[in-house]
Structure 1
């Protein structure tokens, strides 16, 4: 079982973003890293100046590197950016929008969790078109994951295992609207919330999180307890999505648990200490509400896989 670091979905300060990936390169046990701006094309210029040295540092550390495409392409400028991304030499693309997929014929690439790969036929279609790895949407239950793994052996299946879950993307910027700004003059206020901004119900219950044009879960997905069962199913990689916490240590906990160096219980205790403000969930994997925490093991629920 390998570990993949997904792209930073939030708007971090450019130097913090650069230093984050430098530390991932130098200290973390990640096998694969997806980088680049995937949520909002307006943020992209902040990171472009550092992207070449980030990629170089990650490659020098032996990491497999992918560049993530935008989740939603709506403007001519964004279409050009997507084509430039595909034409960039030496770095494969992780496709996050079907408009990008049309230009990937014959090129090795990955499919991100933002594309609805809900069954084995879809996974097989992507594999025939050059996809070598597919990160499944985080809302899929483990029963569906197992079916896809068993019936699409030609492609490596990855599961979203840590981080706030991406739920939806919009052409409208929620952060700008909240601050009474237009999207074109947003002043990049999303950088005030480096872990996303919590959205409450009218009754004051934490419900979702917003990240510019993106809607995310309030709870933080945590499949540490399901990791070994997913490995036995044939899942090839777990994706950890960057949060504003010590992601190097998060990766070490997942690595040590998978390798049998620490117990799930000890690992969970350490994760809570690293990210005390997080409310963990694993409901989607168990076929329940995504915000729930289910203590039952996957194998106990599904039977022997």
Structure 2
């Protein structure tokens, strides 16, 4: 049976909303929970100590807890915070940039490699395992066929049992990061005087093309897919390849989708993909495509 994980909250939510969400996750069917700010260091509703408190609560509820690090480090302060995460002494880290991988390797600590680690070939994957990787979140734009080929490569066959494969299976796909803050720019604000305006957009700010189609979602310095990615109908094809499916939190409905994914994995009747959800990347097609 596949494990189901709840990824880090990618959006900027008030502290009380975050705490309520994780109290609900503690009672959910999730096996693994990722905690931490991965997008913007200015989002300080929760500090590391707050996340550690949530982590202990979730672990007491039987969840495996992982602390996720920033994806784009821009200052010495960001590096100091990264070191604090890596030195927490209690919970495994999801490394979202190679700086974190380097720190964890030096300390001899196991880690999860996030999707932003550009791992596109079996040689790079093997190197990460040698560095201490115990779980790998596949880059979101890659396909089932690609995954099958990589895992069947001679460089991987002998180490396949030493790491888990995780797939981003639900949510708006994180596609790119930039030193610019697109949400602030959309409000004609400078990045340094953003007033944390992204807290007004709990599921990001949509961007439409001239035909009125939602093309992207702006989330601070992160650009996401305009359509929601949803692989619930593709779970049968993951057998033997994937160990964990990740659901990215949304303001509403995440826990219902957790139940649906769990039921679908058991082969029980469950509501499938929504009419506007997409799954093209998994099928080696354009990401915006829906494959039935």
TM-score by length of 1: 0.89
Structure 1 equivalent of residue 198 of structure 2: 190
- Cα distance in 2 for residues equivalent to 1:3 and 1:147: 24
**Deviation at residue 4 of structure 1 after TM alignment:** 1.1
- Cα distance in 2 for residues equivalent to 1:147 and 1:73: 32
Count of aligned positions: 282
Of residues 142-151 and 184-193 in structure 1, the stretch that sits farther from structure 2 once superposed is 142-151
Contact 1:219–1:291 (Cα < 8 Å) also in 2: yes
Q: Does 1:258 align with 2:265?
A: yes
**Deviation at residue 149 of structure 1 after TM alignment:** 2.8
Contact 1:5–1:239 (Cα < 8 Å) also in 2: yes
- Cα distance in 1 for residues equivalent to 2:6 and 2:211: 35
Contact 1:18–1:50 (Cα < 8 Å) also in 2: no
Instruction: Mark the runs of 5 or more structure 1 residues left unpaired by the alignment.
Output: 273-277, 296-305
Structure 1 equivalent of residue 144 of structure 2: 142
Q: Which of 281, 286, 290 in structure 1 is aligned with 2:283?
A: 286
**Deviation at residue 205 of structure 1 after TM alignment:** 2.2
SS in 1 for 2:152: helix
**Deviation at residue 261 of structure 1 after TM alignment:** 2.2
SS in 1 for 2:46: helix
1:254-284 deviation line (CA, Å, top 9, x unaligned): 001101222xxx421xx64xxxxx8200000
Of residues 175-184 and 148-157 in structure 1, the stretch that sits farther from structure 2 once superposed is 148-157
Q: Does 1:174 align with 2:182?
A: yes
- Cα distance in 2 for residues equivalent to 1:102 and 1:52: 22
- Cα distance in 2 for residues equivalent to 1:125 and 1:51: 30
**Deviation at residue 145 of structure 1 after TM alignment:** 1.1
**Deviation at residue 46 of structure 1 after TM alignment:** 0.9
Q: Does 1:226 align with 2:234?
A: yes
Instruction: Mark the runs of 5 or more structure 2 residues left unpaired by the alignment.
Output: none
Structure 2 equivalent of residue 267 of structure 1: 271
TM-score by length of 2: 0.93
1:66-108 deviation line (CA, Å, top 9, x unaligned): 1101010111110111111101110110000111111011211
